[in-house]
Structure 1
Amino acid sequence: MDQETLPPNKRELLKQISSPHNPKEESLGSSSHKPSPKPFWSPLSLQMSIQEYELLKEDDEQCLRKYRKQCMREMHERLSFGPRFNGVHELDSGEAFLEVIEKEHRLTVVVVHIYKAGVKGCEVLDRCLDCLAAQYPSVKFCRINAAVSGAGEHFSDNVLPAVLVYKAGEMLGNFLAITQHFSDEFLATDVEAFLTEYGLLPEKDFRAAGDEADVE
């Protein structure tokens, strides 16, 4: 049929049917080419993401090391089967001396330093035991003045400083004038080696080793 003789509405319908394009597309503009979408990242943003990932990875590794160390410490404490102590405990009477020996945990080693003010070596030994107490928290280090021990007559100046070692109420070591085994300027390592030689100290506490590793 001659399109010119058709009514305008039919002519428009025929045009739409025969056209391969969507009328909506034509209404958007003469060009059917759509601009390609922009990428959601750029080389700079990708680089920043890698840097952030490395930082997060490093943080995760540090957290993992701390978590493992904490787990090992907790396991070590459970396997120690005994209480932990802090510093050297001062005993103020003979009764306190007997109590710490008889009532302490059966697996706890008790090291008692008997001293007297002014006696050579007592003050230095005190400082050494302070150091050892920090390295062996499962050992109970104590000191008592011979004058208040209730047995002052047995501890004259020539047998001081004395170190007595107990476990489960039994005496494991009795060292009178212990400084005779050391040089004039002895250190905590000398006292440690002496007690270790007699098997009176446990394996060095894991916590002390862990703290040294943290310093790296």
Structure 2
Amino acid sequence: MQDPNEDTEWNDVLRAKGIIPPKPQETEMTEEDIVNMVESAIQEKSEGKPMDKMTLDELDDIEDEIDEEEERIFEQYRKQRMAEMRAAQMKAKFGEVREITKADYVDEVNKAGDGVWVVLHIYKDSIPLCKLLNQHLSLLARKNPQVKFLKSISSLCIPNYPDKNLPTIFLYFEGDLKKQWVGPLNFGGMNFKCDELEWMLAKAGVLETELEAPPKPEVKDVMNIAIKQSTINDTNSDDDNDWN
């Protein structure tokens, strides 16, 4: 009896008429299957440590133990890993609050680069709240090295800048001014905490935070509230007079 799986013209006719079942399809190995197999083999040789967790030295150590096909895919992994490490280094290129003057402004702020947030604090050491903000900014700079934190003494950065506007914080993204906080009322006094500043910067999109809510209710504009309340009282007083 003829094998129904055999490749013959007669079997092709029988398959076309549905008399015998179609020939079983051979399972083809995809590129992803090959990558997974090589990945498993390399992981065994590296004592189970995933490649994306290896340092470049560890990758070099196992390079001699792989065959030609493994080497091709291994080299792709190595290039990808180097690119990831370079990207991480680029993101982590700041990490401190740098002092600038007016002469540095264009290069440090307007030409900060693609994807870079700049936090610029205009201050005077003689103002206690400015000193407090500089302490908070130093902590946040170490915590967020991908953000460029700068500070500048007001008289050296903006001539004749009034002290009543200090502290001032400017937020730039890719050289464009996105937000500014001018004057002490924005920061709530000497009890202002680092977490509060972190929340403000996160809300503006400068950095990510693990804080789930503002550390304390946002500062309200007491003067505006008083004016509105006074207007309401005056209106009510006029209405009362109309009834007399």
Q: TM-score range by the shorter chain?
A: 0.5 to 0.7
Q: Work out the percentage of aligned pairs sharing the same amino acid.
A: 22
Distance 1:83 1:136, change over 3 A: closer
Counterpart CA distance in 2 for 1:131 and 1:85 is 13
Q: Given the two structures, how large is their TM-score scaled by the length of structure 1?
A: 0.55
Moved more, 78-87 or 134-143: 78-87
Counterpart for residue 200 of structure 1: 206
Residue 88 in 1 paired to residue 97 in 2?
yes
Unpaired segments ≥5 residues, structure 2: 1-45, 57-80, 211-244
Counterpart CA distance in 1 for 2:139 and 2:54 is 23
The DSSP-based 3-state class of the residue aligned with 2:128 is coil
Matched pairs, number? 141
Q: Which has the bigger relative contact order, CA under 8 A and spacing at least 6?
A: 1
Q: Aligned ranges for residues 45-124 of structure 1 at < 5 Å?
A: 64=49, 68=53, 75=84, 78=87, 82=91, 84-91=93-100, 93-124=101-132
Give the ranges of 4+ consecutive aligned residues of structure 1 lying more than 6 Å apart after TM superposition: 69-72
Counterpart CA distance in 1 for 2:111 and 2:53 is 35
CA-based RMSD of the aligned residues comes to 3.3
Counterpart for residue 175 of structure 2: 169
Residue 152 in 1 paired to residue 137 in 2?
no
Counterpart for residue 52 of structure 1: none
Residue 189 of structure 1, aligned match among 175, 181, 195: 195
Deviations along 1:56-94, whole A, 9 cap, x unmatched? xxxx99x949x738699x848637975621211110x21
Counterpart CA distance in 1 for 2:184 and 2:196 is 11
- CA-CA distance at 1:202 after TM superposition: 4.4
Q: Given the two structures, how large is their TM-score scaled by the length of structure 2?
A: 0.49
Counterpart CA distance in 1 for 2:88 and 2:128 is 39
Residue 126 in 1 paired to residue 145 in 2?
no
Counterpart CA distance in 2 for 1:196 and 1:184 is 21
